[in-house]
Amino acid sequence: MAGVKKTIRLNTDTGFLKLIAIVTMLIDHLGAVMFPQYPVMRVIGRIAFPIFAYCIAAGCIYTRNIGKYALRVLIMAVLVQPLYVTAMNHQTRMAFNWARNFYRPDLIFQHYYAGVNLAIHFTLFMGILLVWTLQEKKYVATAVVFAACWYLQGQLDYGMYGIYLIVLFWALIDRPLASLVWVAAYMTWYGLPTLRARLWPLDNVRVYVQLYALMALPLIYIPMNTKIRVNKWVFYLFYPVHLAAIYLLTMPTP
């Protein structure tokens, strides 16, 4: 018997949240590839993932067919992966000869998927699977999915932190105060230990840049009603389109 779905009591204005997420993600990726001299772009980009994680948790509740939801995200993950690793410079450009090897799925997998950074969609997909098993109370399946997440964490964008954040948003999505306390505490715990970036304006204190992801929490926890709607296909297609644009803009000139 299927588990009872939760009631969303956080910000349900997901159209607005998705718009903020894709804009801040774009700024982050531009900062990573084209403007590394402006670290503030990476700081702004920290806003994106918590919103994606929350929207995925909410999507697991909104959707009438979580299996199709998961499949849609997985298909997008598989399709954008080659573009992601090349546009974001995780793989040497033009290193794979598509003209000669387009019919070799084994070589494509080895070059673009095995042992390399995986696009954020894979993290979101694994998060959906884990929530699905918990929502349906299939705890043996939960253990299997968790083991897969643990095994792949070195390749997944945000690793287990990303998976846990999705599950945490889902688990407490009907309890705003408890959710805020636990999510903020978890994100702070993750952001503090590795000292990499200055915690402006306290120049003598250094923290992991991911601590700035806390800036996303007011957007997630304060109810809004902007009436902004983002078509799900616009949301999905923005990712490959912006990566293609970055790839083309950073192509070396002859």
DSSP string, 91-144: S-TT-S-HHHHTT-HHHHHHHHTTTSPPPHHHHHHHHHHHHHHHHTT-HHHHHH
- Decide if 1 is inside a domain: no
Residue 4 forms part of a structural domain: no
Q: Predicted confidence band at 1 (pLDDT cuts at 50, 70, 90)?
A: very low
Asked if residue 230 belongs to a domain, the reply is yes
Q: How many Å apart are CA 191 and CA 197, to the nearest integer?
A: 10
Instruction: Reply yes or no on whether the pLDDT at 194 is more than 70.
Output: no
The β-bridge partners of 202 are 199
The answer to whether residue 8 is domain-embedded is: no
Q: Select the more confidently predicted residue: 176 or 6.
A: 176
pLDDT attached to residue 205 = 52
How far apart (Å, rounded) are the C-alpha atoms in residues 129 and 69?
Answer: 10
- Residue 195's pLDDT is 47
Q: Across all residues in the chain, what is the average pLDDT?
A: 91
Q: What is the pLDDT of residue 192?
A: 78
pLDDT at 225 over 60: yes
- Domain range for 242: 14-249
* Tokens representing residue 152 in the block: 């792949």
Q: Is residue 131 part of a domain?
A: yes
pLDDT confidence of residue 236: 87
Place 227 in a pLDDT band, splitting at 50, 70 and 90: confident
Phi, psi for 199 (deg, rounded to 5): -90, 85
- 9 lies in some domain: no
Say if 79 falls within a structural domain.
Answer: yes
Q: Long-range contacts for 86-91 (Cβ within 8 Å, ≥24 apart)? A: 86/247, 87/29, 87/33, 87/243, 87/244, 87/246, 87/247, 87/250, 88/29, 88/32, 88/33, 88/117, 88/243, 88/246, 89/33, 90/116, 90/117, 91/116
Could you give the percent of the chain with pLDDT greater than 90? 78
Question: How many distinct structural domains can be found in the chain?
Answer: 1
Q: What is the pLDDT of residues 13-54, one digit of tens each?
A: 999 999 999 999 999 999 999 999 998 999 999 999 999 999
Q: What's the predicted TM-score (pTM) here?
A: 0.91
Residue 204's SS3 state is strand
The tally of CA atoms less than 13 A away on the side-chain side of residue 188 is: 7
As a whole number, mean pLDDT of residues 144-166 equals 96
Residue 254, pLDDT score: 64
Exposed, middle or buried by CB within 10 Å (0-12, 13-18, 19+), for 199? Answer: middle
CA–CA gap between residue 128 and residue 67 (Å, rounded): 9
Query: Residue 3: inside a domain, yes or no?
Result: no
